[in-house]
Amino acid sequence: MFTGLIQSIGQIYSLKRVGHSAQLRIASQLVHDDLQLGESIAVNGACLTVVAWDTHSFTVDVSPETLQNTTLGQLPINHPVNLERALRLSDRLGGHLVSGHIDCIAKVRRRYEDHNAIRFDFTVPQEVMRYLVTKGSVAIDGISLTVNQVEHEMFSVAVIPHSLKMTTLKDCREGGQVNIETDLIGRYVERLLPDQNDSCDKQNVDLDFLAKNGFL
Q: Residue 155 forms beta bridges with which residues?
A: 122, 150
Compute the distance between CA of residue 45 and CA of residue 158 in angstroms, rounded to an integer: 18
Domain 104-191, architecture per CATH: Beta Barrel (2.40)
- Give the per-residue pLDDT at 132: 95
CATH number assigned to the domain covering 8-85: 2.40.30.20
Q: Are 98 and 142 in contact (CB under 8 A)?
A: yes
User: Could you state, in order of their start, the residue ranges of all structural domains in the chain?
Assistant: 8-85, 104-191
Cα(64)–Cα(21) distance, integer angstroms: 5
Residuewise pLDDT in 10s, the chain (216 residues): 999 999 999 999 999 998 999 999 999 999 888 899 999 999 999 999 999 999 999 999 999 999 999 999 999 999 999 999 999 888 888 899 999 999 999 999 999 999 999 999 999 999 999 999 999 999 999 999 999 999 988 999 999 999 999 999 999 999 999 999 999 888 888 888 766 555 445 556 666 776 777 666
pLDDT for the residue numbered 123? 97
Decide if 180 contacts 19 (C-beta within 8 A): no
**Interatomic CA distance for residues 156 and 146, integer angstroms:** 9
Whole-model pTM: value is 0.87
Measured between alpha carbons, how far is 214 from 216 in angstroms, rounded to an integer? Answer: 6
